[in-house]
Amino acid sequence: MKAFNYLIPITIIGSLSIFAACEEDIKSPVTGPPVETLPANTEYDPAFSGQTRIGSVETLTPIKVTVLTSELNAPWGITNLPDGRLLITEKGGELHIVSASGEISEALDGIPSVNASGQGGLLGVCIDPQFASNRMIYWVFSEQRENGTLTAVAKGRLSDDETSIENASVIYRAEPAFNGDLHYGGRVVFDTEGNLFVSTGERSSLETRPLSQSVTAALGKTIRITTDGQPASGNPDFEGDGALPELYSIGHRNPQGIAIHPTTGDLWQSEHGPRGGDEINRVSSGANYGWPVITYGIEYSGATIGEGIQQKVGMAQPVYYWDPVISPSGITLYSGNHVPEWENNLFITALSGKHIARLIINSNTVVGEERLLEDQNQRFRDITQGPDDALYAITDEGRLYKIDKE
């Protein structure tokens, strides 16, 4: 495939003297009006100040945005190889290696077949922390089973000649399967102890929605497993007969983004709400995030969800939420030094919002929000930070962006 490599001149200039500011000023910046100007779908009150529509901020550092290629086919997941190249999944079931200049390899052989209907396909991907010695890759996909589809986790070895995945095997299946094609969740990352976090969706249906609260089902959950697919040591003990030992958190709707904070090791998550109520969560072991009992959204029809409540004892609040939705997908936390004011900021790819959201977080509270690349009119699907400290983002329309200082 031919790669395109051209620059989009974009310099994001603001009035905040961030470089001249002290560290505390960077954490608690002066802000402008919220970036969201459209009316909310509901009149629900946030649980605390700053939980939604926080003040706007602007990046001072001149930023260069490069479209490395426009020839990907519905890319879904992106991660880095140690040498700076990228592994990118495509929804239809192909996995490619993409060079730093945007050259796309042939599809790697050996990937099990996926059910790519609806929101299914080849989804999130990550590499083993010991990849340099073991060459292991892990990915999530929607797998066809006799009684429906489910979110599955697989692993395999990248061959020495980089043409195939060797000995691919499914190590975990989020049961029960369901005859539907929505809300698979689908991200996978390593924690700080060498185990895997996996996000699973509740499959959207009114029939399966309550399973988000069930400790005997793996739908609507954060799963924590070993690289062999077994429950990881130190997982929480949920109350209830038959509670699954792989559960780490419950009460999720469709979490399409998970990332580890580079300094605290905390797990952060983005989650699709219904009509309103997209969430950012800092996921704690054993916590219940409430879906569908509490939510800041409503049904697509406009009807109230459940009792129409947003808070309940024993259920965790999102750190931040959006109404109207931006449809948050992949996320990453910035740990580079090219753009100092981005340190430890959370970057969220927005599908319906068609931008990359930047959230400044101070003491686990969002203190500023910025929208990047709005002018590109792309459905941003996933984002990662490369070993060169640049951000790399993919879009449903097939683009791969490099975002870095000028």
CB crowding 176-191: b at 16 or more within 10 Å, else e: bbbebbbbbbbbbbbe
Domain residues for the domain of 396 are 6-28+35-405
pLDDT at 28: 74
Check residue 50 and report its DSSP letter: T
Residue 230's CATH number: 2.120.10.30
Is 391 a member of any domain?
yes
pLDDT at 27: 61
Q: What's the CA gap between 249 and 213, in Å, rounded?
A: 10
pLDDT at 50: 97
Q: And the tokens for 323? A: 């109404």
Is 216 a member of any domain?
yes
Supply angle C-alpha 330, 334, 338, rounded to 5: 130
Q: What's the CA gap between 321 and 51, in Å, rounded?
A: 6
Is 136 a member of any domain?
yes
Q: And the tokens for 144? A: 């066809």
pLDDT by position in tens, the chain (length 406)? 333 343 443 333 333 333 333 344 456 788 999 999 999 999 999 999 999 999 999 999 999 999 999 999 999 999 999 999 999 999 999 999 999 999 999 999 999 999 999 999 999 999 999 999 999 999 999 999 999 999 999 999 999 999 999 999 999 999 999 999 999 999 999 999 999 999 999 999 999 999 999 999 999 999 999 999 999 999 999 999 999 999 999 999 999 999 999 999 999 999 999 999 999 999 999 999 999 999 999 999 999 999 999 999 999 999 999 999 999 999 999 999 999 999 999 999 999 999 999 999 999 999 999 999 999 999 999 999 999 999 999 999 999 999 999 9
Phi and psi at 212, nearest 5°, equal -60, -30
- Contact of 335 with 325, CB cutoff 8 Å: no
Amino acid at 155: K
Going from the C-alpha of 32 to that of each of 35, 207, 315, 368, the distances in angstroms are 8, 43, 32, 9
Neighbouring residues of 40: CB distance < 8 A, sequence distance ≥ 6? 276, 323, 324
- SS3 (DSSP) at 316: coil
Is 67 a member of any domain?
yes
Is 166 a member of any domain?
yes
The residues annotated with a catalytic role in the active site are: 183
Beta bridge partners of 355: 350
Is 124 a member of any domain?
yes
Domain count, the chain: 1
Is 1 a member of any domain?
no
- Contact of 56 with 37, CB cutoff 8 Å: no
